[in-house]
Structures are given as structure tokens and as C-alpha cells.
Structure 1
Amino acid sequence: MKLFADIGNSLMKAAVNDGSALREVYYGPAEIEPFRDALKGFTIDGGMWCTVREIDTDLSSFLSSMSMVQLTHETPVPLKNLYSTPQTLGMDRLAAAVGAWSLKQGHDLLVIDMGTAVTFDLVTAAGEYAGGNIAPGVALRFSSLNEHTGRLPLVDADGPTPRFGLSTTDSIRSGVIRGINNEINGYILDLKEFFPSLFVFLTGGDIKFFDMNCKSGIFAVANLVLKGLACIFDYNEKS
């Protein structure tokens, strides 16, 4: 059974593939003990993992002990990477791009990952990873307003988001949540001028804050990074 793991800035996700489908088996801190406990009962004989930060040597050794390989900028992938500094590209971004491409090959794609950061990545119909942008995520926007001002409170993301807030709390929450929604919609509208048949993939822990109502051509896909890791692993196995 193959295992795929995505280690983010805040949490770690992992899924097994028994040959038919991915099944999430872990979502929690990037720590060896709870991760090892979650894998009890599974026989892992390979897979792939990626990380956006340095991790404990115990955890990396545990991943290696299961014959898992780390995705790096030197790993062959089924997309042509146009990034000018591939060694600085977050491997979660590349994996998500491959995951989206596996679902809609031959189409122009915008991949939006709403995590600690919000990333916007473009894949062309020709199978090229054409770069992207990085912006602060939901939690970072709330914490920045609190930490870099004198009197603005730290606000919980869950709650009402009126068009215009009638309290400071609602004003902050609406500004952050509606701001991100407008930002995403702005990217989509802008890119559709150049790529009229654009498909959009949303993933990440904060996609619940995006209004999906009446949005055609937009797909919410959980674990898109893990799906991409599985595709890259298979691509290299067949090469």
C-alpha cells in the first residue's frame, strides 16, 4: 500500500492508496507519534511526501523507513515547469497543479490553495506550470490586523460577514472574508480574459470561506496536493 503525505506550515495530511482510490488516514500535527499511531494496521511499501518547511529528523527518518521519497524540484513531473527559480517553488504548489492537471488535462487551469497562505497557480492547456502568486491566508490577515495596529482585536473567522459591518468585529471579519472572496473572483475574471475556457480548482482548509454558489467551472477538491503526489509517484514508477 502506498502512502502520500503533505506537510504544510500548520498541519500535516496523509492518505493511503490501495490501488483504487486515496483514503485520508491522518490530519494533524507534523509529529511522529500521532502519525505513527494513525498508520497502525497499514503495511506501507512506498509513496511520496512533500513539505514546505524543515521537519524533525525523526519524522523524515520514519518516512524514509517506509521507502517513501521526497518530492523536490529535481523530481520529474508530468508538467513542464516554467518557474525561473524551481528550487524555491513550494512543492505543495507543484503537486496541487499536477493533481488538477490529472483531472482536467488539456485545459487551462487556475489552482487556488487556501491554507496559511493563499496561492494562485496557473497551468496551461499545453501542460505547462506557468507560475503563480502568493498572498496571506485567512488567519494571517486576522492576526496581522491585531498585531500591527494599536486597538484592533483578534477576530474569529466564524461569524456574520455583512456587506458593511456595524461593529469593529464584524467590520474586520467582513473585510477579511469578503476581501479574499473578491480577490479570488478578481483573479478568475482577469484570467478568463486570456483563457476563456479556464477551469478553477479550489483546495485547502479554508475553502469553506469561499462562496461557491452559482459558480460554474469551479471545483472544490479536497486533498488535491495528495492527489498530485500520487500522480507524480505513478509517473516516475512508469518512467
Structure 2
Amino acid sequence: MLLAIDIGNTHTKMSLYDGSRHVAGWRLSTNGERTADEFAVTLAALMQRRGLDPGQITAVAICSVVPPALVPVVAMVRRDLGLEPLILGPDTDTGMPVAYENPRELGADRIANAVAARAEYGAPVIVVDLGTATKWEVVSPEGVYLGGAIAPGVAISLDALVRRAARLSRIELARPRQAIGRSTVEALRAGVLYGFAGQIDAVVERIEAELGQPAPVVATGGLAALIAPESRRIQHVDPHLTLKGLWWIHQRLARAQDASGGQRRSPVRPSPGAEVPG
């Protein structure tokens, strides 16, 4: 089984795949202070609740935008699972050409999203990731990752507003009854929901104008299900898109390894005192 791990700024998502079948998934708070021991205990407990055993894991693929949180996860995989994880980075052979000026600036999650979107929805395609930041990823008709756009995310924008405005307080993000809010809570909800939906549509329209043709729009991220129904341009909601991207990339590399006569699973025997790279 493949364990795919997406370490984001706010949450760490994990999915377990048996071949192409999604077996189980979990979401944790990202914590850069969590140790390898804590991560091992957490993973074992989560799997046992589903009747699964960590010993069933034969491969691990990871993407991370939080280096301090990556280190203990990699240490746990090497020590407790006896596996060398695939860590998605700028040198990984994803099968997707990248036209970004400096590919090393790209977050691994952005490439994973683009790979999964192209594989599952074709090209061209636009991904909107509604997480800590709102990110647009663009794949050309030829299947090349072109780049995208980044804006402050829904939750952090609302948090910043509440901190700077003395008479506003935190609210639960939910769909408002109408655009004309009759209370401060409803007004905030209307502004956030409809404002971000409009922002998504406006950026998509500019992207399509530069592409010279329309493209399907796929939304992912923790707030995708809330925002997508109010967008005119989002056609698909895929909450596991990043993890699917890791699955697609791992499949590609595993096939290449099989073709070259390599082994799919090789226990890791690190040298004494070896350090886990950040």
C-alpha cells in the first residue's frame, strides 16, 4: 500500500492507497514540534481504528511546504516503516514539463495538484486550491505547467480583518442567508463567501484570456466545498487532489523502476548518526 502525505501550512493530510483504490484518509493539524515518535504513535492509532496495520505500507510519498514538519515525518518513515520515502521536489521526475522561471520556488503541493488535474481532467486545466493561501495553477493545452497566481487565503484574510477591526469578532465560516447581511456576522459571511467566489472567477477569466481558450476549473483545499457552489467557473471539487498527485507521481516512478529491474520496496539501513535532510 502507498501512504501519501501532504504537509500543508495548516493541516497534514494522509491517504492510503491499495493500488488505485483509496483505502483510508486522515487530516491532522500541522505541528512542526511533533516528534517522529508522536507521529508514529498517531499513524498506528489511526490505522488500527480502520483495521489496518502500518506493516501493510510498502511505499510512502510526501510533499511538504513546512520544512520543520517534514523532518520528523521522514525520520518516522525511515525508522519505523523501514522505507525510503519519495519526497516531491524540483528534481523529481513528475512527467510534467515546467515553464516556471525558477522551478525551485514552486511549492511541491502546486506541482502535485497540476499533475493530478492533468491526469484526471485533461489539459488545459486550472486548479484553484483554497487553503491557507488561495492558489491558481495553470496547465497548458500541451500539458505544460505554466505557473499561476497566489492570494491570501479565506481564513487568514478573515483573521487579519478581525485583528485590525476592534468591533469585529471571529465567526464560523458558513453560507450566508443572502448577500445583504442583516447582522455583522451575516455581513462578514456574505463578504467572505461571495467576495472570494468572485475573486476566483475574475482570475480564472484572465487566465483563460491568456490561454486563448476556456479550461475546466478544479477546486481543492479545505474550503473548496464551501466556496465552489457560489463560483460561476468551478466545475469540479476534488478535496484529495494533492494526494492523488502524489499517487500519480509515485506510479510513474514505480513503473520506471520496474522497467529498469529495480525493486519496489527496499528497507532503509541508515548509517549510524545519519541526519534526516530538511
Q: Which amino acid aligns with 2:44?
A: R
8 Å contact kept, 1:99–1:231: yes
Equivalent pairs, count: 238
Structure 1 or 2: more helix by fraction: 2
1:205 corresponds in structure 2 to: 222
Q: CA RMSD in A?
A: 2.1
Inter-partner Cα distance in structure 2 for 1:45 and 1:147: 46
* Aligned with residue 76 of structure 1, among 93, 111, 120: 93
Partner of 1:59: 73
Q: Say whether residues 1:50 and 2:66 are aligned partners.
A: no
1:224 aligns with 2:238: no
Aligned to 2:181, the other structure's residue is in SS state coil
Q: Which sections of structure 1, spanning at least 5 residues, go unmatched?
A: none
Q: After TM superposition, which residue ranges in structure 1, 4 or more long, deviate above 4 angstroms?
A: 213-217
2:10 touches 2:132 (CA, 8 Å); kept in 1? yes
In structure 1, the residue matched to 2:44 is: 36
TM-score after normalising by structure 2: 0.78
Aligned with 1:76: secondary structure? Answer: coil
CA contact (8 A) 1:2 1:46 kept: yes
For 1:16, the equivalent position in structure 2 comes to 16
Query: Bigger shift: 215-224 or 61-70?
Result: 215-224
TM-score by length of 1: 0.90
Q: What's the CA shift string for 1:165-205, capped at 9, x where partnerless?
A: 23322222211111110011112333333443411111111
Mark the CA change 1:96 to 1:24 in structure 2 (over 3 Å): closer, same or farther.
farther
Distance in 1 (alpha carbons) for counterparts of 2:245 and 2:148? 17
Does the 8 A contact of 1:120 with 1:134 survive in 2?
yes
C-alpha distance 83-117 of structure 1, shift in aligned 2 (>3 A):
same
Paired with 1:190 and 1:57, the residues of 2 have a C-alpha distance of: 39
Query: Which stretches in structure 2 are left out of the alignment for 5+ residues?
Result: 257-278
C-alpha contact 2:13 2:26 (8 A) present in aligned 1: yes
Deviates more, 1:215-224 or 1:89-98: 215-224
Q: Tell me, yes or no, if structure 1 residue 158 matches structure 2 residue 171.
A: no
